[in-house]
Amino acid sequence: MCGIVGYIGKQQAAPVILDGLSKLEYRGYDSAGMAIYDGEKIQTTKAVGRLKVLENITRGGSTLPGTLGIGHTRWATHGAPSDANSHPHTNTSRTIAVVHNGIIENYIPLKNKMQERGYVFTSETDTEVVAHMLDYYYQGNPLEAIRKVLHRVEGSYALGIMFAEHPDTIFSVRKDSPLIVGQSQDGAFIASDVPAILKYTRNVYYVQNMEIAQLKADEIKFFTVDEEEIHKEMVTVDWDAEAAEKGGYEHFMLKEIYEQPKTINDTISPRIKDNDIVIEELGMTDEEIKALRRIHIVACGSAYHTGMTAKYVIEKMVRIPVEVDVASEFRYRDPILEEDSMVIVISQSGETADTLAALRESKARGFKVLGIVNVVGSSIAREADNIIYTWAGPEISVATTKAYSCQLVALYMLSMKFAKIRGTIDEEQFQSLLGDLRRLPDQIERLLGQKGKIQKFANRYVGAKDIFFIGRGLDYAISLEGSLKLKEISYVHSEAYAAGELKHGTISLIEDGTLVVALATQPHLYQKTISNIVEVKARGAFVMALTGEDNKAIEKASDYVVYLPETSPYFANSLAIIPLQLFAYYVAVGKGCDVDKPRNLAKSVTVE
């Protein structure tokens, strides 16, 4: 996510802002910038790269004198990392400057309208449209201009705004992106998160959605979007800096598990327009989609597991054969790629060497490659022919959770779009799926509420030596991910198995008390999976079952059942993964493992 810091007070603003931005580096970013009022005009300096680059260019901020300013670290969502795309963004006359964290979902029509009004854009970002709209609506009253803009933009935002004609004030407003306001004896601050200002003050206000903050050096006021002043309670923060970076969570992994409802919504909602799925960046015509005869999905690790989920979903929904490969195999097996095939590569980091090599191999053979990537401007994002971004924000923990979940919903949307165009689902089925898709964030929120129950169960398996995950079809695909999550952060050996395959050898490993996690989310396979549960129970296994709320029959066969909210069977993996992530997390925590940085692992495997 992007980071915002603003300051107005007795001190020079630039050094305060640089210091604050450095405390937000953990949020992940690819460029940075500042805008400072120097007594006459707004001066802006922006630079792609680490914060150090901005610090060096501005000589620690000394080239930007002034006591009022806003700063930003950018995590690219629209427009690759570049100086021009870095924030702050200004209106043409540079009398208004804006920094933004979030996604303006309707920025394209807004941008078109501003261009029709003669505004010239200098960046590819969604944010720049806010600067020009403020210019258009500003008639001397900043609050009125801000109100008019807020009534027209859709999406998520935390905005820091300064007007050259009001050099004693910073304005700020949020919707769905975090924003705090701080007060010290030296001035007032805005920030995306507490760590940015802890050095200066622990007295903060947590800004709520659609509240506008007006900061002067010695006075802070809050208003509704209807310009009515509101009173807010100041809070004293008692977190230390490190805890604050994790938003109060013990580990980034848990924070990112809990971010999944928001990040899934961020990935879905900009692509649902008028009850249809619109994937502008897909770059495929209906004719190309209809002509498709095979899909190859290539990825590594958890990304490969989303490919396995996609195989079952696409083949059932779209009726196109899907081959899924781990990239390290694909690139060396001299794959057979037939005409009218497409290759999809999936990667959170966009830098995984094997996946990048598979992309290059496919392109070298003349095939178009679609990338599903989380990092804007990454190698895979740059080299793929078309891209679907998962707007999960930066993922700090080595074990992927929110990016994995966003990859799933991106693949569901792709499948639904293909199925609708190819006519393998009708409008009624499409709308029913769309309803289920929209309900996922709230259902995941509900499942996260079972954290305590899962933690209690996980504590019983801190000493486990072998844990098996079994399932059929989509349940096998999610078993793969559940097993990997456990292995990579808790170092407990685990294996995922197609439930019907267990009896062909591996069942010999089941002993008294062996934990078997049985996935049974597919109604048409309930009975078959219950038979497999009975098989392993007969060998002494302890069975934890994850199943739909309608599958009460499984209780008799299992020792411990976690029920999942009702959704389309196509989307069940998105719900089943939540208890599995929590289970892996709490086993690892119980063992005292370094959850965010597991031994031997890197967040991005950029070597073969």
Q: Judged by CB under 6 A, which of 177, 192, 341, 349 binds ligand AGP? A: 349
Which residue's CB is nearer to ligand AGP, number 142 or number 394?
394
Which residue's CB is nearer to ligand AGP, number 20 or number 350?
350
CB of 115 to ligand AGP, least distance (A): 36
**Three-state SS across 429-456?**
HHHHHHHHHHHHHHHHHHHHCCHHHHHH
Q: Judged by CB under 6 A, which of 392, 399, 414, 454 binds ligand AGP? A: 399
Token pair recorded at residue 121: 């854009």
CB of 480 to ligand AGP, least distance (A): 11
Q: Judged by CB under 6 A, which of 169, 309, 347, 521 binds ligand AGP? A: 347
Taking CB under 6 A as the rule, does residue 303 contact ligand AGP? Answer: yes
H helical segments located in 514-600: 526-538, 554-557, 572-590
CB of 515 to ligand AGP, least distance (A): 21
First to last CA, the chain: 29
Do residues 421 and 289 lie in contact, with contact meaning Cβ atoms separated by under 8 Å? yes
Output the CA torsion sign for 325, 329, 335, 340: positive
Taking CB under 6 A as the rule, does residue 301 contact ligand AGP? Answer: yes
The stretch among 150-158, 384-392, 395-403, 550-558 that binds ligand AGP (CB under 6 A) is 395-403
Backbone φ/ψ region at 600: left (φ over 0), alpha (ψ -120 to 50), beta: left
Taking CB under 6 A as the rule, does residue 394 contact ligand AGP? Answer: no
Do residues 38 and 164 lie in contact, with contact meaning Cβ atoms separated by under 8 Å? no
Geometric angle at alpha carbon 293, from 290 and 295, rounded to 5° = 105
CB of 392 to ligand AGP, least distance (A): 11
3-state secondary structure of 365: coil
3-state secondary structure of 473: coil
Q: Judged by CB under 6 A, which of 400, 490, 568, 573 binds ligand AGP? A: 400
Q: Judged by CB under 6 A, which of 31, 44, 77, 348 binds ligand AGP? A: 348
CB of 598 to ligand AGP, least distance (A): 8
Which residue's CB is nearer to ligand AGP, number 223 or number 469?
469
Sketch the per residue contact string, 470 through 509, with ligand AGP: x for CB under 6 A, - otherwise.
------------------x---------------------
Token pair recorded at residue 515: 């934990």
The stretch among 76-84, 179-187, 346-354, 557-565 that binds ligand AGP (CB under 6 A) is 346-354
H or E element at residue 370 = strand 369-373
Residues in 353-372 at the binding interface with ligand AGP, rule: CB under 6 A? 355
Output the CA torsion sign for 568, 574, 575, 576: positive
Q: Judged by CB under 6 A, which of 36, 217, 398, 530 binds ligand AGP? A: 398
Q: CA 537 → CA 132, 442, 522, 542, 557, distances in Å?
A: 66, 34, 21, 7, 8
Q: Judged by CB under 6 A, which of 43, 352, 479, 568 binds ligand AGP? A: 352
The stretch among 203-211, 357-365, 394-402, 499-507 that binds ligand AGP (CB under 6 A) is 394-402
Do residues 598 and 488 lie in contact, with contact meaning Cβ atoms separated by under 8 Å? yes
Which residue's CB is nearer to ligand AGP, number 260 or number 302?
302
Q: Judged by CB under 6 A, which of 58, 302, 405, 494 binds ligand AGP? A: 302
Provide the annotated active-site residues. Answer: 2, 603
How would you label 512-540 residue by residue, b for 16+ Cβ within 10 Å and e otherwise?
eebbbbbbbbbeebbeebbebbebbbeee
**Which parts of this chain interact with ligand AGP (CB under 6 A)?**
300-303, 347-349, 352, 355, 398-400, 488, 604-605
